Structures are given as C-alpha cells and as structure tokens.
Amino acid sequence: MLLLLIVAALLAAAYKAWQWSLDAREAANRIAKDTCSRAVVQLLDGTVAFAGYSLARDARGKRRVLRTYTFDYTSDGFERAQGFIVLAGLELEAVGLAGGSSLMPPAP
C-alpha cells in the first residue's frame, strides 16, 4: 500500500513538472513571436527549442532555475540567425537576437 502511494506521488510530481515545462515552452513561443514581430524579422520553424537549465540568484539572493530556449529567424529570407530567451519560471529574464541586440524585460 505504501509503495502504491509513493508511486502515485512520483507520477503526480512528474506530471506537474511536465505541465510546467509545457507552460514555459508556450510562453517562450509567444515571446519569440512578439520579439520577431517588433524587430521586423521572420520567425523560422514557428517554434523555440529548449537549450538547457541553469541556476542563478535573483535580486533577493534566492536561487532560481532558469530555462533557456533558442529560436531561428531571418531578416532577409536567405540567412538564418539565432535568438535566445531566458525564463525564470514563466517570467522573462532576457531575450536577444544575433548581432548583439539583447532586450531585457521591462521593469515592474
């Protein structure tokens, strides 16, 4: 009985982590589309790709897990360039385009 409860708890935790990942990817897709629209470039492939996790401290010194996503875009229809998005939870930490153009989210 105890083993069944442990397995159920592990499955519930795995499902919740999977949902958070899907929500973060959806947010990253929305941010990539908005960024490309503002920069007057075309988002290629219509989606972002997960690039990895990292740990960082926020302004209060608390550790946060950051997710990094990359996406491809073109400004001329011929050459691909790569952009990135960094999320802390579902909050935007940074977004940037190739060539040094890095955009930070607006201050709250």
Query: pLDDT for 4-13, tens place per residue?
Result: 899 899 999 9
Q: Which pLDDT score, from 0 to 100, does residue 100 have?
A: 54
Is the pLDDT at 83 greater than 70, yes or no?
yes
Pick the residue with more confidence: 50 or 101?
Answer: 50
Q: Which helix (H) or strand (E) holds 97?
A: strand 91-97
Q: Give 69's contacts (C-beta < 8 A, 6+ positions apart).
A: 25, 28, 32, 48, 49, 50, 51, 84, 85, 86, 87
Given a cut of 60, whether residue 107 has pLDDT beyond it is: no
Q: Domain spans of the chain?
A: 2-103
Angle made by CA atoms 69, 48, 12, in degrees to the nearest 5: 75
Residue type present at position 92: L
